[in-house]
Amino acid sequence: MPPSTDLLQGTLDLLILQTLAPGPMHGWGVALRIQQVSKDVLQIGQGSLYPALHRLEYKGWIESDWGNSENNRRAKFYALTATGRKQLETELETWERLSAAIALVLGRNAEASA
Amino acid sequence: MRKEWLSRLRFFFLLAFDKNKRQSELDEELQFHLEQATLANIAAGMTQEEARRQALVEFGGVERTREQCHEQRPGWQMGTVVQDVRYALRGFRCNPVFTITVIATLAVGIGATTAVFSVVDRILFRSLPYAHDDRIVSLGLVQSLEKQEFTLGGFFFDWQDNQKPFEAIASQGTMLHACDLVEANPAQLNCIHAQAGFLPLLGISPVLGRNFLPEEDRPNGPRVALISYGLWQDHYNRDAGILNRLIDVDGSPARVIGVLPKGFELPTLQAPDVMMPLALDEGIERKSSPGHPMRTFARLRPGVSIAQAKAEMEPLFVHTQSWIPREIRNDFHLSIRSLRDRETQDVRLMAWILLSSVLAVLLIACANVASLMMARGEVRERELAVRAALGASRGRLIQQTLTEAALLSLAGAVAGMALAEGLLRTFVALAPTGIPFLKRAGLDLRIALFTVLLSGVCGAIFGLLPALQTPRAAALAARATRFHKRAVLRRSLVVGQIAISMVLLTGAALLLRSFQNMQEQSLGMQTGGVFTVRIALPGFRYDTGQKKMAFYLQAEAALRRIPGIRAVGFSDSVPPGGWNNDERLGGFAPEGRRPIPSADNGGPVVTRGVTPDYFRALNIPIVLGRNFTEEDRSSSEYWVVLSRLLAARLFPGEDPVGKRIQKGQNGIWLTVAGVAENVKNSGLTEQDAPEIYYLRRSIAQDWGGRAPVSEVMSGAAPILIVDAVLPPKTVAPWVRSAIAGIDPTVPVETETLAQGVSKLADRPRFETALLGFFAFCGLLMAVIGVYGVIAFMAAQRTQEIGVRMALGATRLNILRLIAGEGVRLIALGGAAGLAVSLATAQLLKSLLYNVGSHDPTMYAAATVLLALVALTATLIPARAAMKVEPVVALREE
């Protein structure tokens, strides 16, 4: 089993928004995609995925519509809204700043302890 | 942003109306996910069954996800509150006895506390409506007959010149006096004189115009007046042109120079309509003794205490003391009190007693709420455990409990505020005159909020106890064996309640006994069928004794012609009150003997200026000699009637009839006509004083007024005392019209003697009624508490009782088992309460009349009452337990 990584609070939202950026996708697709792209490091359980999807929908960042899946099953597809796209940009910026800062701190710590 | 809001709003409505559709969509979505996962597993080479199983395992709790998706919904939190409220209300409906008991308990606690606090707040806590109110003091002389500080002109100026502890000192006249506003729309007003420095001392400035100037506060200065806001508003329609207008007060013009602030009250707690300069002639005052009497107030310098001020003023007092005649000098003392003390001293004790008794009631109420909530919590422990097992989080359970407590508090608060309003009105209606600030007392919202919070917290804390504990698996097993710890807490609550209620009960019993003593005592006169007629003659028209006498004699004659009136007499006061015209036993010397010398000069003597019919109207028997006669009224001799007490003091073992007494040194000679039976003459509760009756003769000096008053008459206005055969209600209108026939403009006030006497008992009645009411509330709630605990414990032990009975216990054994528990609690609480009562009853002492603060009968009565009521409360559940059918009890659960 791949190592499970606890997602930082709020990171899941970012991951979902980023995953939906290319085009509409259903819940299963989102989970699968995140798992694939992260090379199985990030496994999103449905227990956190669906509440997150609903939360984003209530916030108006994504919208949902019923459509047919690849194997012709009725499925619920989520797509980014305009607000969602803007939100994605801000979140990406924030994320980059944060990870840069963390990297900096970790790097310095490593030097100090060495 | 706006779009986001719109979408939220849309969802909110969508969800509110479309909940089921949402639910099925979510199910479908999750179902799809599951199928996809199964397919993926099959693709990875699993069998159909294994693939589905793995997918389900990975998926986890569907229900939990569903819940969480729900929780994402905007307004979800609010939805749960609504849900909790609905759930709580349903619970309350199922258990109306619990609900009503809690709400009623809260209502009484909140209502009574709020009402009482609103009344005593001004007396005990709120600052007085003057600047630097904590530094304002009342200073002056006190003596055995006048306990409120007063000063005399010469003293005042001497002190003013030499004092150091005060930054300001000023005086007002001794009392409000009636004055007449003479204009097209005449009115009788209350006037007061005050020095120019008086308002600045209090930090009061007129809302319109200005204060007196020093040159206006001098004899023969310009005649100016400040009028009250009320007079300005009602009489002059808030006309700003009132300034500099001349108004006619008592027949001479005064210029209005200002309007006093709204609601202004003198430090003597009176509200004047018109204030005029005191205008003392300093030169004359300094020379004259005793000088003009006044009430003097002063403001301490910052940092100077009252004790320091008193120490510094003492030498000045000793210096001025030499101006007082030697015989009475030792009876005068210097007194300096804070203004609050002066205003509220005589009601302070009552206020504290009321406040502490109502706080005791609040305590009992809180204990009751706590106990009830705990009982409910314990009963519901199982329910909570089930809910926790079904996935309710701790927070959710706490929220539910808090919602219930809040709902109960809210209902209790609403009911309590209604009760407080009603109680406050009752207080104001019931209260005797002379309780300062009462008329203006309004519900105090701060304290209401405080009590609501307090009781809410009581309920919440004890309601939370079970929710806070990790619901134990044991609770699901529903075996009632683990309530001991909290049962101890509930038992001690009950013991506390009983103790507090015992204290309240004994206090109430003592006051009740005292009140009864007061009511049952003999007044020494008849009150039935007697009524008094007081006539306020406008002083400026009836300005001589001659005019007054003419009016009163006419009135007497007119009243005597009215059918159904047996006797019409005059007096200047009515028992059980009496004037003390500053006369003392030592001031009377029987012929051939020296006056009785003693430290306080033999103590005060009550004087009354009466006509012969006075004794007949009040049915006061003449025990020796004779009554005054109608002929005596025209004689020039000073006839007197002595009370039996006075006769015994002045003429021990002798027959005083016909003897002569000299009044004061080289004073007039009085001749004793007879001796009358003693009459209550110093109020209802004080020791009777010896009394002397002077004959009010038909000469001008004996009828008072501003003209010189005869040596023996007090300056007080004559009062007609009428003994009627017909009911006073019938006669009073005839009396009014008879007097209107003489002068239609004079105000006439009639009052039955019984009303007058009853008014004197107003204060004790008020105290007794209130404390009785609180004791009743306390007892009621304590009993509910006892009942609740015993009933609850009996219910918890139903199974045990079944087992015991199955093993051969008789029903009597069971009764003893359950009731014994109650008896122990009651005995413990009662004993504790009795101990506290005995220790604190001293505080009530000054309110008690003819009953000791440790009166054994009253303590026994309170104990028996409490024991009986509380035992009944334990017997009811105990009897129910006794009737338990063993088979039914054992089969239960």
Cα distances from B221 to residues A112, B213, B275, B276, B285, in angstroms, run 94, 10, 15, 11, 17
Tokens of B817: 């088992």
Contacts of A92 (CB under 8 A, 6+ apart): A14, A18
pLDDT at position B770 is 85
Which run of H or of E encompasses A46? helix A46-59
Tokens of B167: 């930054």
Is A72 touching B (CB cutoff 8 A)?
no
- Rounded Cα gap, residues B318 and B333, in angstroms: 9
pLDDT by residue (tens digit) across B744-764? 888 888 888 888 888 778 778
SS3 B723: strand
**How far off is chain B from A14, nearest CA to CA, in Å?**
17
pLDDT at position B465 is 67
- Rounded Cα gap, residues B259 and B849, in angstroms: 46
Which run of H or of E encompasses B464? helix B445-468
- Rounded Cα gap, residues B71 and B69, in angstroms: 5
Are B84 and B399 a contacting pair, CB within 8 Å? yes
CB neighbours of residue B210 within 10 Å: 13
Which among A58, A59, A75 has the least Cβ separation from residue B32?
A: A75
The DSSP result for B615-655, as a single string, is: HHHHTPPEEEE----TGGGGSSS-EEEEEHHHHHHHSTTS-
- Rounded Cα gap, residues A50 and B30, in angstroms: 8
Is A75 touching B (CB cutoff 8 A)?
yes
Classify residue B156 by its DSSP letter: H
Half-sphere exposure of B576 (CA within 13 A, CB side): 22
- Rounded Cα gap, residues B553 and B548, in angstroms: 9
Tokens of B499: 């103790």
**SS3 assignment for B86-124:** HHHHHHHHHCHHHHHHHHHHHHHHHHHHHHHHHHHHHHH
Are B412 and B448 a contacting pair, CB within 8 Å? no
For residue A25, tell me if it sits in a domain: yes
Are B803 and B890 a contacting pair, CB within 8 Å? yes
Are B681 and B688 a contacting pair, CB within 8 Å? yes
Residues in chain A within 8 Å Cβ distance of B39: 71
Task: Give the nearest chain B residue to A53 (CA atoms).
Answer: B69
* Residue-range definition of the domain harbouring residue A18: 11-113
pLDDT at position B466 is 61
Query: Can you list the residues of chain B whose pLDDT is less than 70?
Result: 1-20, 74-75, 145, 288-290, 327, 433-440, 462-463, 465-486, 580-582, 594-601, 704-712, 714-715, 892-893
Q: How far apart are the first and last CA of chain A?
A: 33
For residue A1, tell me if it sits in a domain: no
Is A90 touching B (CB cutoff 8 A)?
no
The DSSP result for B189-206, as a single string, is: EEEEEE-TTHHHHHT---
- Rounded Cα gap, residues B257 and B274, in angstroms: 11
Are B66 and B30 a contacting pair, CB within 8 Å? yes
For residue A4, tell me if it sits in a domain: no
Query: Quick one: which of B87, B825, B13, B21 has its CA closest to B498?
Result: B825
Amino acid at position B333, single letter: H
Question: Would you call A74 and B32 a contact, using CB atoms and an 8 Å cutoff?
Answer: yes
Is A28 touching B (CB cutoff 8 A)?
yes
How many CB contacts within 8 angstroms connect chain A with chain B? 70
Q: Which residue in A4, A26, A28 has the most chain B C-beta atoms within 10 A of its own C-beta, making it the best mutation to test that interface?
A: A28
For residue B594, with 0-12 CB atoms within 10 Å meaning exposed, 13-18 middle and 19 or more buried, which class applies?
exposed
Cα distances from B60 to residues A35, B53, B454, in angstroms, run 18, 11, 45
- Rounded Cα gap, residues B392 and B385, in angstroms: 9
Q: How far apart are the first and last CA of chain B?
A: 58
Which among A50, A55, A73 has the least Cβ separation from residue B35?
A: A73
Amino acid at position B59, single letter: F
**Is the whole model's pTM more than 0.80, yes or no?**
no
Q: Please give the distance of CA B365 from its chain centroid, rounded to a whole number.
A: 21
pLDDT at position B556 is 93
The count of structural domains within chain A is 1
Sole residue written with tokens 């200026």? B609
For residue A2, tell me if it sits in a domain: no
Are B241 and B188 a contacting pair, CB within 8 Å? no
Cα distances from B13 to residues B7, B27, B73, in angstroms, run 10, 20, 11
Sole residue written with tokens 């304290």? B447
- Rounded Cα gap, residues B350 and B438, in angstroms: 13
Considering just the CA atoms, what is the radius of gyration of chain B in Å?
Answer: 39
- Rounded Cα gap, residues B585 and B568, in angstroms: 30
Residues in chain B within 8 Å Cβ distance of A31: 33
pLDDT by residue (tens digit) across A5-52? 445 556 888 888 888 888 888 888 888 888 888 887 777 777 788 888
Question: Would you call A45 and B61 a contact, using CB atoms and an 8 Å cutoff?
Answer: no
Residues in chain B within 8 Å Cβ distance of A59: 4, 7-8
Beta pairing, strands B565-571 & B719-724: antiparallel
pLDDT at position B283 is 84
Q: What percent of chain B has pLDDT over 90?
A: 23
- Rounded Cα gap, residues B431 and A11, in angstroms: 70
Task: Give the nearest chain A residue to B31 (CA atoms).
Answer: A75
Task: Give the nearest chain A residue to B70 (CA atoms).
Answer: A51
CATH number at residue A71: 1.10.10.10
Half-sphere exposure of B753 (CA within 13 A, CB side): 23
Are A52 and A19 a contacting pair, CB within 8 Å? no
Which among A45, A73, A76 has the least Cβ separation from residue B60?
A: A45
Residues in chain B within 8 Å Cβ distance of A60: 3-4, 6-8
* Mean pLDDT score across all residues of chain B: 83
Query: Quick one: which of B634, B631, B610 has its CA closest to B622?
Result: B610
- Rounded Cα gap, residues A44 and A51, in angstroms: 12
- Rounded Cα gap, residues B339 and B72, in angstroms: 63
Which run of H or of E encompasses B740? helix B728-740
- Rounded Cα gap, residues B413 and B204, in angstroms: 39
Q: Please give the distance of CA A47 from its chain centroid, rounded to a whole number.
A: 14
Beta pairing, strands B252-259 & B246-249: antiparallel
**How far off is chain A from B81, nearest CA to CA, in Å?**
20
- Rounded Cα gap, residues B666 and B668, in angstroms: 7
Tokens of B484: 């001991």
Beta pairing, strands B691-695 & B606-610: parallel
Which run of H or of E encompasses B335? strand B333-338
Task: Give the nearest chain A residue to B22 (CA atoms).
Answer: A54
- Rounded Cα gap, residues B625 and B619, in angstroms: 16
For residue A38, tell me if it sits in a domain: yes
Q: In sequence order, what E strands does B520-648 have?
A: 530-535, 565-571, 588-590, 606-610, 622-625, 639-643
Are A71 and A19 a contacting pair, CB within 8 Å? no
For residue A51, tell me if it sits in a domain: yes
Task: Give the nearest chain B residue to A84 (CA atoms).
Answer: B4
What's the residue count for chain A?
114
Question: Would you call B73 and A58 a contact, using CB atoms and an 8 Å cutoff?
Answer: yes
Q: Which residue in B19, B22, B33, B35 has the most chain A C-beta atoms within 10 A of its own C-beta, making it the best mutation to test that interface?
A: B33
For residue B280, with 0-12 CB atoms within 10 Å meaning exposed, 13-18 middle and 19 or more buried, which class applies?
buried
For residue A5, tell me if it sits in a domain: no
Contacts of B317 (CB under 8 A, 6+ apart): B141, B159, B334
Tokens of B258: 């200002």
Query: Quick one: which of B853, B881, B789 has its CA closest to B826?
Result: B789
Is A85 touching B (CB cutoff 8 A)?
no
Is A33 touching B (CB cutoff 8 A)?
no
pLDDT at position B289 is 64
For residue A39, tell me if it sits in a domain: yes
